[in-house]
Structure 1
Amino acid sequence: MHALRKWLLSGLLVIVPLFITLAVLKWIIDTLDQTLWVLPASWQVWLAEHNVRGLGVLLTLAILLVVGAVASNFIGKRLLGWGDAVVRRIPVVRSIYSSVKQVSDTLFSENGNAFRTAVLVQWPRENVWTIAFVTGAPGGEVMGHLGGEEYLSVYVPTTPNPTGGYFVMLKRSDCIELKMSVDEALKYIVSMGVVAPSATALPATR
């Protein structure tokens, strides 16, 4: 019975991640295949009759590349600037668009520093430790209220879903910078500590 239980658990450890990965990929492909509505109706009918899958992924990538190429030249930048100014004049859309754009610019910018460093912090109370990510440094009016010490803006993710979490501002002296990569830290968080980082990823000195 012990051997059967061991084999069953080993099989689950192999099948479950593979099944979830395939299910997620299928969902992504099915979702992106909905972009095929931009094609002529006759093409859509032909693709549906022949059950062609995955073309939506290629179409989405092509659209992103074309938009990126246009946005990278002088005329494209002028058009985007004009469109951005128009959207920012719409009362309700303005606040949503500005917030989303600021976050996306921070996360996807080549010069951005978001989620570049993993740190060890005491959270939610003293002597309870967790891994967080440095997103920047406080500024403006907030910094004026924090005193003379140097602070860091830190994102503390939840487990096992790191897309939810808390934004806090901590003293730099209270944050221990880790040598592990962001990917290793995310795996450690998502796995609830099961997938430990490599032995070489030891905490850096303060």
Structure 2
Amino acid sequence: MTDSPERITLAGRLRNNFLTGLIICAPLAITIWLTFAFIDWADSWVTPYIPERYNPQYYFDIAIPGTGLLIAMVFITLIGFLGKNLIGRSVVKFGESILHRTPLVRTLYKSLKQIFETVLKDQSTSFKKVGLIEFPGPGTWALVFISAQAQGEVAARLNADGEEMIAVFLPPTPVPTAGFLLFVPKSRIIMLDMTPEDAAKLLISGALITPPWTPKTPLLTERPGDGTPEPA
């Protein structure tokens, strides 16, 4: 005689329904809150500089969320368009020449410009690939975002033995907004197929959310430093 299935009490049903509703509502509510928080932040920066006659709030006497953000996007796009023609490039070069002569400001401006040019240019592969490295010691693996090949003095000093070095960013869990910049030999990195978005989900969730993956061929893993492939 088989045991009868365990009956769920009313309190248990209410608890399960509450958790199901929480799973549905919480991500939606947080997404909406973050979206409006970003819009309000952008509006608070841009709206005070909009002349009243160009501000829709002046005519409708109500706050219209997103007005400042929309105007900022149009303004940035217009600057990008003007910066591509001869006159616009001349104005940009003149402004940059003034910044380059200003102490402290020139260092900050050059650094920020180089970062944005590297990350946003179409050919850039920075932070578009994900890998695994042994950290903090052998046998323990950490998820990293591939930044770029080592360059300049770092490359000259670390590549002296012919080993190509790669700059990687190692973020913490569960808030991957800061982390460590590491230079790792290319042969010591296991490249992954997952996207940076899936890697971010894995990090933020503490490995509770694992992206689906189907290998195209039978997987053979090669441990860094060992040329013998082994079945996964």
Q: TM (normalized to structure 1)?
A: 0.90
Indicate the SS of the match to 1:121.
strand
Q: Which moved more, 1:32-41 or 1:168-177?
A: 32-41
Partner of 1:40: 51
Q: Which residue number corresponds to residue 3 of structure 2? A: none
Instruction: Could you list the structure 1 runs, at least 4 aligned residues long, displaced by more than 4 angstroms after superposition.
Output: 42-45, 201-206
In structure 1, which of residues 123, 129, 154 is the aligned counterpart of residue 135 of structure 2? Answer: 123
2: CA distance between counterparts of 1:204 and 1:32? 49
Residue aligned with 1:104, SS: helix
1:89-168 matched pairs, under 5 angstroms? 89-146=101-158, 147-168=161-182
Confirm or deny that 1:66 pairs with 2:78: yes
Measure the CA separation in 2 of the matches of 1:119 and 1:47.
Answer: 54
Shift, 1:62, TM fit: 0.7
**Aligned residue pairs, count:** 206
Higher relative contact order (CA 8 A, sep 6+): 1
Residues 13-32 of structure 1 correspond to what in structure 2 (within 5 A)?
A: 13-32=23-42
Q: Distance in 2 between matches of 1:47 and 1:185?
A: 47
User: 1:178, 1:201 within 8 Å by CA — same for their partners in 2?
Assistant: no
- Root-mean-square deviation (CA), in Å? 2.1
CA–CA distance in 1 between the matches of 2:179 and 2:59?
42
* Equivalent-residue separation in structure 2 for 1:14 and 1:91 (angstroms): 53
Change (3 A) 1:185 1:160: same
Instruction: Say yes or no: does 1:10 pair with 2:20.
Output: yes
**Pairwise CA distance, 1:85:** 2.1
Q: Normalised by the size of structure 2, how large is the TM-score?
A: 0.80
**Unmatched tracts of structure 1, length 5 or more:** none
Q: Distance in 1 between matches of 2:112 and 2:22?
A: 39
| TM-aligned CA deviation for residue 173 of structure 1 | 1.0
Identity %: 29
Structure 2 unaligned regions, length at least 5:
1-10, 223-232
How far has the Cα of 1:193 moved from its partner? 1.0
Write 1 or 2 for the structure with the bigger share of helix. 1
Taking the aligned partners of 1:85 and 1:69, their CA distance within structure 2 comes to: 21
How many Å separate the matches in 2 of 1:3 and 1:199? 34
